[in-house]
Structure 1
Amino acid sequence: MPLIDFTQPFYFLSAVAVVFIVVFLRYLLVAGLFHFCFYSWRPSRWQSRKVGKKAWPKHQLRKEINWSMMTSLIFAFIGAGTAVAWQKGWLAVYEDTGRYGWVWFFAAIGVAMVLHETAYYWLHRWMHHPKVYPWVHKVHHDSRIPSPWTAFSFHPIEGFLEGLILPLILAVVPMHLYAVVIYLTLMTLSSVVNHLDIEIYPKWFARHPVGKWLIGATHHSHHHRYHVFNYGLYFTFWDKWLGTESPDFEREFAERAG
């Protein structure tokens, strides 16, 4: 349990500042690393794996970074609020690894991902409702051809709604503090990979017993292109089970990953 009283305004705002710096710098580091490796350093090597064949519109990346900065600030306030909830005893976050053991330490990450996937899938479907989309989700889809920097490019309302999912999970799923940190890092990494618009997975991945359930750049680029398919976050199971996976996905994946 933290020693600092995060309910005090000074410490709460200090937590907001620290979390903002960590979240935004992590975003810049991961997105910047992928941008450098796949778009700046020997880009011709990945040309055949590029999903969208057009160039990004002028100023798209700058807009994405600006929106992502706002998203990071919203996540920071939610993160500080989560610290308050933890201090109040409202969350199942713990610090003693012996409490649940190492198996649960890692299993909890998987459980959280499945719950997050479920909540996000239905939130995502709702955000595509015609009366909701222009006000909440359009900012993200302004990036018709996604980039690594699209990962956190959300309207503030969307950022707020997405940011609430993990604290709600932590209210019911026991997770070690470090497991939460690992989870947040995986979340950023996954979002950047899915918005990379370059397929990094091998050709056999889409039919592999494990790989076929994981989302990559081709899968999510189809969502940005068509809007009515591929609503998943980490996994494809809801899209497969509910018939919302793009019928062209496997064919284009084979072309890009080949």
Structure 2
Amino acid sequence: MFRPDHKQGQRYVLQTLKDLATWQDPLNSWLALFLIAGLAVGIASGFFKARKIQPKGFRWKTFRNEAIFAAINLAFSGILLGGMTVAFRSWGWIEYNQEPASWWVMGLEFALYFFLFDTWFYWLHRWMHKEPAYKLVHKLHHFSTSPNLLTTLSVNPLESLINGGFVPLFVAAFTVHQDTMMLIGPTNVIMGFYVHSGYEFFPRWWNRSWATKWFITATFHDQHHKYFNWNFGGYTTIWDRVCGTMRPKFEADYDKIKARTAQPVPVAPDGAAAALAANEVASS
């Protein structure tokens, strides 16, 4: 029976802390970036009162609860993901390709990660909308039907482990270059905050162009929070298009939002949102 070397594990813990302090290791830098960005957003989110996608915005009760849940998630998910990374290191599962990487190699590695994570996220996201997983894991994230930056972090720590745990699993399965990891980390953080921002920054033609319509926008994920059983993709719309889970009126609504002619969809009260989510999960 395999038994981990606890003394070796302790050395890896100390090395991890050292790497965090010096930003020498890309995987630990990703974890640190996640925590630091989360804390920064917690401070800045109070300034984001208006909504461009849903002008009515969020209620103070929602903001207060999401701030509390985000703080709890940051603490516990940092421990869980950090512990997972330390364990993988102590078992020798995480290694990086130390050879110099060309841009095309880094591009291929990043594309592999991008597609695999999007697939992982889509199917587990759909699973988390089924009972009992929805109530036990995912319901907390749907507390708000009008997402804001704090919604990114207002997640059950188990859900953070499911989504964030893909990164160390990917690194363990593929010996990628360290430079590639420095692309993966910021992509995760930036995409997470952007799709929950409540603002739509992409141009009006985004969903009409063959080259760009495959990548999600803030409006795409915003409508997932509004309607629950549509738009499950994490990075792309590919799986939603293939599986018929992209909201049929999404593109038309996107055009209206960009043209500033849409009337905001009424935001359900928080309690009503939870009830609606439960009903939709039960009927799906």
**What is the TM-score normalised by the length of structure 1?**
0.82
Report the Cα offset of residue 23 of structure 1.
Answer: 2.4
**Which of 21-30 and 142-151 deviates more?**
21-30
Which residue number corresponds to residue 143 of structure 1?
Answer: 144
Q: 1:17 to 1:86 in 2, by over 3 A?
A: closer
Describe the shift of the 1:33–1:257 C-alpha distance in structure 2 as closer, same or farther (beyond 3 A).
farther
Moved more, 7-16 or 225-234: 7-16
**Deviation for aligned residue 1:151:** 1.1
Distance 1:203 1:138, change over 3 A: same
CA distance, structure 2, for counterparts of residue 136 and residue 118 of structure 1? 19
Following superposition, the deviation at residue 31 of structure 1 comes to: 7.1
Q: How far apart are residue 135 of structure 1 and its match? A: 1.0
CA shift in 2, pair 1:76/1:114, >3 Å = farther
Report the equivalent of 2:121.
Answer: 120
Give the partner amino acid of 2:54: G
CA distance in 2, matches of 1:143, 1:59: 10
- Deviations 1:90-110 (Å, cap 9, x if unpaired)? 13523x242x53321232122
Distance 1:252 1:188, change over 3 A: same
Corresponding residue for 2:135? Answer: 134
Could you tell me which residue of structure 2 aligns to residue 28 of structure 1? 39
Which residues of structure 1 form unaligned runs of 5+? none
* Structure 2 counterpart of 1:62: 64
Aligned-residue offset at 1:187: 0.7
TM-score (norm 2): 0.75
Residue 72 of structure 1 is aligned with which of 71, 74, 77?
74
Are 1:177 and 2:182 counterparts?
Answer: no
Amino acid in structure 1 at the alignment position of 2:243:
L
- Distance in 2 (CA, whole Å) between partners of 1:180 and 1:76 is 20
For residue 69 of structure 1, report the CA deviation from its aligned partner.
3.0
Task: Name which one, 1 or 2, has greater alpha-carbon Rg.
Answer: 2
- Offset of residue 134 of structure 1: 1.0
Residue of structure 1 equivalent to 2:193: 192
SS across alignment from 1:153: coil
Q: Report the alpha carbon displacement of residue 196 of structure 1 after superposing the two structures with TM.
A: 1.2
- Provide the aligned C-alpha RMSD in A: 2.8
Instruction: State the partner residue of 1:204.
Output: 205
Unaligned runs of 5+ residues in structure 2 are 1-6, 22-27, 260-284
Q: CA deviation at 1:223?
A: 0.6
Structure 1: distance between partners of 2:177 and 2:74: 23
Offset at residue 212 of structure 1 (A):
0.4
Kept in 2: contact 1:75–1:159 (CA 8 A)? no
Deviations 1:97-133 (A, max 9, x none): 42x5332123212210110010111100110002221
Shift of 1:21: 5.2
- Whether the 8 Å contact between 2:45 and 2:150 is mirrored in structure 1 is no
Q: For residues 33 and 79 of structure 1, what CA distance do their matches in structure 2 show?
A: 25
Structure 1 residues 204-227: Cα deviation after superposition (integer angstroms, max 9, x where no partner):
000112220111111001110111
Q: Secondary structure at the match of 1:112?
A: helix
Shift of 1:72: 2.9
Any idea what the Cα deviations from partners look like across 1:129-161, whole Å, max 9, x if unmatched?
A: 022211110100002110011112111221121
- 2:106–2:180 contact (8 Å) kept in structure 1: yes
The C-alpha deviation readout for 1:171-220, integer Å capped at 9, x for no partner, is 22232223223211111110111011221111100011222011111100
Residue in structure 2 matched with residue 90 of structure 1 by the alignment: 93
